Structure 1
Amino acid sequence: MTTETPTNGRFSKRKVGIVSAVVGVAAAGIAAGVATERILMGRNRRITDADPYKDEPFGALGADETRTVTTADGLDLHVEIDGDPAAPLTVVLVHGFCLDIGTFHFQRKLLRTIRGVRIVAYDQPGHGLSGRLRSGEYSIQQLGRDLRTVIDETTPAGPVVLVGHSMGGMVIMALAEQSPELFGVGQRVSGVALVASSAGEMSGVTFGLPKVLAKVRTPLLPVITNAGRLTAPVWDRARQAHTDLAWMLTKRYGFGSTKVSPSLVSYVERMNASTPTDVVARYVRTIDAHNRFPALTSFEDSPTLVIVGDEDLLTPVEHAEAICRVLPLAQLVVVPNAGHVVMLEHHEAVDAVLGPFVRNLVPGGAPS
């Protein structure tokens, strides 16, 4: 005899049926959209002489120094350092989820031109060239401790500016939560730049999907996490096989412009694809649970820059505005026609504010 599962925090059979129906309808709509866009794929993805980045050396900038920093839980982090070791200011770049050091391609080129600045960039655990956990889930709390380790081992003295994109901004908030004494006037962290990031309430993000579908995400997180780990090899093969779909999703969720460089989309898609499925699955829950609004108060006495694209579907403008409500003295910059990877898509606009922000924090430098 079949019995209905009690509603004690689990889905009942009826609820599972409703969720399945909703997902099915959404999947049908997505499939129809994909089929239509596939017709245009050959033209959209083709790199031509009109592509401004067809010769851009993405992923091949090099560094003055490459170093390995080992975290408290034994993971080796890949670190790249540029600039004079005696520079009076160090800028630490903290990338986001499913990306790597290459996220800050254009910003590294900019910062290399600023006198008195040294650059430290590293791959987060499970990303890029850094090591992966053998078991268990990743946590933003641990990533905050990892950031502290990177700072201590690469920059034992002198002021630091932290620049975080997306999850990287969340990691900076976790560090502030754990070590508020590092932040403020005259302290180690003299400034913070948060790019397309959030202080919490990620469970409310719809990703541009119907709200009824977005609402089922949180209850399904344990299923997604466990299934992702168990079926990772299958999903990895599928991701590699369906590169057109991956490219289209990257363009949809990473960019806001109607016309964007195919080379740029392909570069971001390669970073996404290089993050293994089991790593993706083991990050999902900690990002969804992220809530560090109280930690923002540690930035009150530090210059803070908040940048977001007005078409960002992953960390919408409302999340940047929520940060600035806690930090009314922060500088908010909303970039038009920009998506989640705003610092790549519209790097000129981002660099135009990040450059002066950093120059003003160089000890002894002339204010911009």
Structure 2
Amino acid sequence: MTKRRWLGLAAAGMGATAAAVTAGFFVERKVDHTRRAGAPGADELGSLHSDALTVRTEDGVSLHAEVDEVAPYSEEAAKTRPVSRVGKPRRRVAPDPTVVFVHGYALNLDCWHFQRAYFRGKHRLVFYDQRSHGRSGRSDKAHATIDQLGDDLRQVIEELVPEGPVVLVGHSMGGMSIMAFAERHRDLFDERVTGVALMSTTAGGLKTHHIVSRLIPDSIGGQVGSRVIAGLARAPQLVDSLRRRGSNIGFLVAEQFAFGGDVPASYVEFVNNMLAATSFQVLAEFFPNFDTLDKYGALGAFAEVPTTILSGTEDVLTSVGHSRKMAQRIGGAKLVECAGAGHMVILEQKDRVNTALDELLAAAAAGPTSQVS
């Protein structure tokens, strides 16, 4: 590289730094103003809990879990329950499924606040923090993989839902976990799962460098993203200090990347706090999974059960195109596009999401067109 080129890059870097400092001043003012104008009730988000349970994974990680129970179902109602998909023999089960919620990257089970509030008391609900997230134990780097998350989901189902039908609801990385579970434990999936919701997620083809800039060529994009993350991971404490709970930078990042439109400041603060609670070291360990993910081969399993695929049209992390592609690959899948919503559609358009889940649960309860004794 020529000296002139180096000087040009240096000058550009200095200019960018000056611009960043100037922008930072306005960011501080903008975020402070937004926070002061925030909607009341921010402390209520993520406040719904039940007794803490622990699921121990095969590699020794303790997963924090919570179960919201409902009153026992009646035996008379159970006798009228459809019992099987066509061609899939199954014993008779309870009329209502247990709904297992699987959260996304850098979040925790609290992200399902509005779904938990809406469905509490109507269905048996299971929530858990994925490994290295929330109140769960830390994984070693070797097990920080999507496939391992699929195995963890199997463990959660076997311990917390030992019998009866299951509906799986996954957001972002949680949707990937469900796909890995279906791929690696197909027999259990076929036997127990009666419905699936995949929200703001993808089965593969995610180009994480596009989040930074569409101008980065795909041929080097994966290397750029991985190297940047690996470099930052060498000083995780420094990165975490910038991402600390309550930081204005974190607030702005959450606002820009998690939502598609204007939302109450309390929502942004809520997401920002979950992100800040997940150490950068954990983010760095899971990050390489996203560019290499390919679970399209697992999608055949979802054609056997009612499946809802939901996405915000303004999602900049897992764009709506990923949802459309999955819907094309899953026969009979219902695609729900939430106009104007971003990645955290489960907060931003909670009513639309809850309605879609209501419809999915009704379809799961309806069962097959013919019964198998």
Q: TM-score, normalised by structure 1?
A: 0.84
State the alpha-carbon separation in 1 of the partners of residues 164 and 332 from structure 2. Answer: 24
Offset, 1:210:
3.5
The Cα RMSD (Å) is 2.9
Indicate the residue corresponding to 2:104 in structure 1: 96
Letter in 2 for 1:38: E
By how many angstroms is 1:70 displaced? 0.6
Matched, 1:301 2:297: no
Contact 2:64 2:136 survives alignment (8 Å): yes
Counterpart for residue 346 of structure 2 = 343
8 Å CA contact retained: 1:183, 1:299 = no
- C-alpha change, 1:138 and 1:57, in structure 2 (3 Å) is same
Q: Are the structure 2 counterparts of residues 352 and 159 from structure 1 closer, same or farther at C-alpha, using a change threshold of 3 Å? A: same
Q: Does 1:54 align with 2:54?
A: no
**Structure 1 residues 214 and 249, CA gap change in structure 2 (3 angstroms):** farther
Unpaired stretches in structure 1, ≥5 consecutive residues: 5-15
1:102-124 Cα distance to aligned partner (Å, 9 max, x none): 1110111111142xx21010000
1:266 shift after superposition: 0.2
- In the other structure, the counterpart of 1:145 is 151
Give the Å deviation of 1:144: 0.4
- 5 Å-filtered alignment, 1:325-336, equals 325-336=328-339
Change (3 A) 1:316 1:31: farther
* Separation of aligned partners in 1, 2:229 and 2:254: 21
SS in 1 for 2:364: coil
User: Once structures 1 and 2 are overlaid, which stretch shifts more, 291-300 or 202-211?
Assistant: 202-211
The yes-or-no answer on 1:43 pairing with 2:33 is: yes
* Alpha-carbon spacing, 1:55–1:267, altered in 2? closer, same or farther (3 Å): closer
1:231 partnered with 2:235: yes
Secondary structure of residue in 2 paired with 1:59: coil
**Residue 241 of structure 1: CA displacement?**
8.2
* Partner-residue secondary structure (3-state), 1:164: strand
Q: Aligned-pair distance for 1:214?
A: 7.2
Provide the aligned length of Structure 1 versus Structure 2. 342
Deviation at 1:62, TM superposition (A): 1.6
Q: Secondary structure at the match of 1:360?
A: helix
Partners of 1:236 and 1:301 lie apart in 2 by 43
Q: Which of 86, 110, 116 is matched with 1:108 structurally?
A: 116
Aligned residue identity for 2:106: C
Equivalent positions of 1:124-135 (< 5 A) are 124-135=130-141
Unaligned runs of 5+ in 2: 74-93, 368-373
| Cα shift at 1:297 | 0.6
CA change 1:97–1:23 in 2 (3 A) is farther
Q: Quote how far apart the aligned CAs of 1:230 are.
A: 2.5
* Residue 182 of structure 1: how far off its partner (Å): 2.9
Q: Would the aligned equivalents of 2:170 and 2:178 in 1 still touch at CA under 8 Å?
A: yes
User: Quick one: distance in 1 between partners of 2:12 and 2:132?
Assistant: 32
Structure 1 residue 354 displacement after superposition: 1.0
How much has 1:314 moved relative to structure 2?
A: 0.3
Partner of 1:73: 59
What is the TM-score when the length of structure 2 is the normalising length?
Answer: 0.83
In the superposition, relative to structure 1, how do residues 241 and 359 fare at CA in structure 2: closer, same or farther (>3 Å)? closer
The Cα of 1:285 is off from its aligned counterpart by 0.4
